Amino acid sequence: MPDLITIFLDANVLARPVTRTLLIAGGPTSGFVAVFSRTALDEADRHLGPGKTPVTDLVTRFGWATARTGTVGDRFDGTDPKDRQLLADAVDADAAFLVTDDVDDYAEHDLIEAGVAAVSADVFLAHRLTGLGYLAGLDALSAGRTRPPRTPEELHVALGRQHPRLVAAQAEAFATAPAAPTHPEPAVVYRGARCLACLAVDRTVNNRGLCSSCVVVVGDGGRAGGRG
């Protein structure tokens, strides 16, 4: 089986059950494995509203491993202080990408120096989730559901609300048009120097995560690395 790249999930992504499920369930088939640290888990649980199931159940009930706690030291001075530990954990996990809803919390020079790129979940999924990985994610999401959206096609339509780039990249999987997004895309969706398509570290990577060679081939939409 091919090697996997490691991606690190920020607390704000871990706290979103649909996004988290797509990343965890679709990863192994798509060539990546999603990891997270104790700091990320604890912060994710603090993000949850009342009555929600703790994200830490992934560890305590299902046996997920947590990444080691990285050393911050005097590094990452341009990054929001509350996020420095998460960046240190991502670096310690040897993650290629830090998947987060708040890319602009991480300073570009800190990311480049650390060799990690920060990217929004939707943009990452659009580029790296394969067709088989997408179906694996939809299959997991459909588990135990008795009400619409229940089938993979219904879920695909519903996902348009929060993952417009992903469903656009996977448009050929279903004939149905996805729902319109409910929120505008954040102004900053990528920072760093690792290309989402070819995975090379390259200072020509643009603010959509593509190097100058791949942007010509792939365009902005996604399915850069996604095959199958």
Report if residue 221 touches another protein, rule: CB under 8 A. no
In Å, the largest CA–CA distance within the chain is 52
Give the span between the Cα atoms of 65 and 182, in whole angstroms: 33
Single residue of 46, 109, 145, 227 touching another protein by CB under 8 A: 145
Give the span between the Cα atoms of 116 and 129, in whole angstroms: 19
Give the span between the Cα atoms of 59 and 55, in whole angstroms: 8
Q: Which residues of 45-79 are buried (b: 16+ CB within 10 A; e: fewer)?
A: beeeeeeeeebbebeeeeebebbeebebeebbeeb
Single residue of 143, 175, 180, 187 touching another protein by CB under 8 A: 143
Hey, is 118 helix, strand or coil? Answer: strand
Q: Which span (95-103, 139-147, 192-200, 201-209) binds another protein, by CB under 8 A?
A: 139-147
Query: The tokens 């420095």 sit on which residue?
Result: 84
Binders in 97-136 for another protein, by CB under 8 A:
136
Token pair, residue 179, equals 């729902």
Single residue of 73, 81, 147, 172 touching another protein by CB under 8 A: 147
Single residue of 34, 88, 114, 195 touching another protein by CB under 8 A: 34
Single residue of 40, 141, 197, 214 touching another protein by CB under 8 A: 141
Report if residue 46 touches another protein, rule: CB under 8 A. no
Nearer to another protein, 50 or 73 (CB): 50
Binding string, residues 63-92; x marks residues near another protein by CB under 8 A: xxx---------------------------
φ, ψ for residue 221, nearest 5 deg: -75, -35
Residues engaged in binding another protein (CB under 8 A)? 1, 4, 16-18, 21, 24-25, 27-28, 33-35, 52-53, 57-58, 61-65, 136, 139-145, 147, 149, 155, 158, 162
